[in-house]
Amino acid sequence: MSMKVALYCRLSEEDRNKQSEADDSGSIQNQKSMLLQYAMEQGWELYNIYSDDDYAGADRRRPEFNRLLNDAEQHRFDIILCKTQSRFTRELELVEKYIHGLFPLWGIRFISIIDNADTANRGNKKSRQINGLVNEWYLEDMSENIRSVLTNRRVNGFHIGAFALYGYKKDPDRKGHLIIDGEAAAVVREVFTLFSQGYGKTAIARMLNDRGIPNPTEYKRLHGLRYRQPQNRNSTLWKYAAISSMLVNEIYIGNMVQGKYGSVSYKTRQNRPRPKSEWYIVEGTHEPIIDRGLWERVQSLISRKARPFTTGAIGLFAGKARCANCGYTMRSSKNHDRHYLKCSNRHVAKDACVGSFISVDKLEQLVIDELNHLTAEFLDRDQLEQNIEFCDNLQEQKARLLSSIAVCEKRIGEYSKGIRELYMDKVKGLLSESDYVEMSEDFTTERDRLMRIVADGEEQLSEIEGKIAAGGNPRDLIGQYTTPERLTREMVEALIDYVCVGKRIPGTKDVPIEIHWSF
């Protein structure tokens, strides 16, 4: 019985830049021909060709790469054949995980032709590891070089984004320079002027939508830019957030502002916000759309209207209530000390949504009524009381919680020690500043997460100890959880996936809702 072989090919944008039009040495076709010829000479049966075009060797989201791994786990073939090990991956972590770990367990042989990697030959494991290490260094060096070039261009005020900010376009005669886009700039000026005249952000969004003016995302698409359109309904509409962001963006007064987000690592495309102190702000790099006088008036109005952020309890149904008509998450509002939920689309454009609306108290009561109905229909309270020994159960919960807190506190100590040791390595010159920052941030983030877990655990422990001390009737304790008089945010999180809220039925006070439970 002949062995089945899977061929894996990869071509990245970097390969394209290296080759001339006549050079086909790095092309997908060339890789396929080489691998097919090799497989034929060995007498192997071809199972499939997996080919990723325009993907980097550190990109774990390669579609064909992941399909290859899934098929390998199902043992749909016996051999994986690549041109080089780096075509499969440039990450040492994945070399160890798959080539040296999972592939042998799955009964898969890995071969790369050029660098002579073959898992059937135990003698060349070290060379495969060295290949992986060299590829890892290559990735890190390339990332640092690119980062250095981009940082230099940001510091000098050159625009490096894929798309210009709404109101501007890229200068075709001067790389990294922005010029005004007259059509969009007129809208920007109108937004600033309207706000300075006392119009609110939602009102401005509605005015633009009523006139059919496309929002920045749609504007890019209409002008032929390869900008991925969001899939949400009404994504062409102006919203409060777009107006709010525009009114504080210094690019509109001629300053180049970049670096608001930074990559987590060269191994991932994930970005995270950076503090303003780390942004790259260079003044006077391009022609302003908004003059200084109008800018200062708008900033003064924003400052006067801004209300300090309060750290009160999170809304009972925050993120859980959706408009049944358009699917958008409902926003909270307050009027005469009563809290309400409403669909934000109701206010941004005509016919965008019929506008779902309900008070938080009413929604809470409807949820409690439905929960009580489910309890009466599906729970036998007498049987529940007989089957649960509350005191023992609470003691067990307390023991588990104490054990969990102890484990977390031990790990917190280990991370704190690790941070101190990293600092000493940096002082001794054993660790670079950039490596120290990256590693210590990871340690600090994990330590802080564990500290929050401990704090939450201590709160739960206090509640459990109070219940143990109070004793009480088991039936009363059951009632607190199965037939509550009020909901807590914890109960909403645990029990409800989301709630769809419709528009009030005309002539009545009834608001239709549809509860999607988590159980």
In this prediction, residue 388 carries a pLDDT of 47
Crossing angle between the packed helical segments 390-427 and 433-470, to the nearest 10 degrees: 160
In this prediction, residue 180 carries a pLDDT of 94
In this prediction, residue 1 carries a pLDDT of 66
User: Global pTM?
Assistant: 0.40
In this prediction, residue 310 carries a pLDDT of 36
Per residue in 291-326, is it b (16+ CB within 10 Å) or e — as a string? eeebbeebeeeeeeeeeeeeeeeebbbbebbbbbbb
For 126-137, the pLDDT digits (tens) are: 565 556 555 555
Per residue in 423-455, is it b (16+ CB within 10 Å) or e — as a string? eeebeeeebeeeebeebbebbeeebeebeebbe
In this prediction, residue 25 carries a pLDDT of 43
Q: CB count, 10 Å around CB of 177?
A: 18
Distances (CA, A) of 466 to 224, 400, 415, 472: 65, 16, 32, 11
Distance of alpha carbon 92 from alpha carbon 400, whole angstroms:
38
In this prediction, residue 95 carries a pLDDT of 80
Supply the CATH classification number for the domain 4-151.
Answer: 3.40.50.1390
Q: DSSP letters along 227-247, please?
A: -PPP-STTTTS--HHHHHHHH
CATH of 168-305, one of 3.40.50.2300, 3.90.660.20, 3.40.395.10, 3.90.1750.20: 3.90.1750.20
DSSP 3-state of 81: strand
- The closest alpha carbon to 363, from 517, 259, 511, belongs to 511
DSSP structure class, residue 345:
G
Contact 283, 181 (CB under 8 A): no
Distance of alpha carbon 519 from alpha carbon 516, whole angstroms:
9
Q: Which residue has the tokens 């210590």?
A: 440
Domains in the chain: boundaries:
4-151, 168-305
Same fold, 4-151 and 168-305: no
Instruction: Tell me the residue type at 511.
Output: V
Q: Which residue has the tokens 């980062």?
A: 147
Strands 168-170 and 109-112: unpaired
Contact 271, 264 (CB under 8 A): yes
**Rg value, the chain, Cα:** 30
β-sheet bridge partners, residue 134 = none
Q: Nearest 5°: phi and psi at 148?
A: -65, -45
| 377, HSE (Cβ side, Cα atoms, 13 Å) | 6
Q: Mention every residue, 6+ apart, whose C-beta is less than 8 A from residue 518.
A: 494, 495, 496, 497
- The closest alpha carbon to 4, from 71, 53, 51, belongs to 71
What's the burial of 36, exposed, middle or buried (CB within 10 Å: 0-12/13-18/19+)?
A: middle
Distance of alpha carbon 483 from alpha carbon 481, whole angstroms:
6
Distance of alpha carbon 124 from alpha carbon 118, whole angstroms:
7
In this prediction, residue 309 carries a pLDDT of 37
Contact 234, 214 (CB under 8 A): no
Q: What residue ranges of the chain have pLDDT lower than 70?
A: 1, 12-26, 57-58, 122-151, 154, 225-235, 261-272, 304-314, 346-352, 378-394, 466-483, 490, 519
Distance of alpha carbon 290 from alpha carbon 297, whole angstroms:
11
Strands 4-11 and 79-82: parallel
Cite the DSSP H helix spans in 379-482. Answer: 381-387, 390-427, 433-470, 474-482
What's the burial of 479, exposed, middle or buried (CB within 10 Å: 0-12/13-18/19+)?
A: middle
Between CA 95 and CA 103, with CA 100 as vertex, the angle to 5 degrees is 100
Q: DSSP letters along 256-319, please?
A: EEE-SEEES-TT---EEE--GGGSEEESSSS--SS-HHHHHHHHHHHHHH--PPP--PPPTTTT
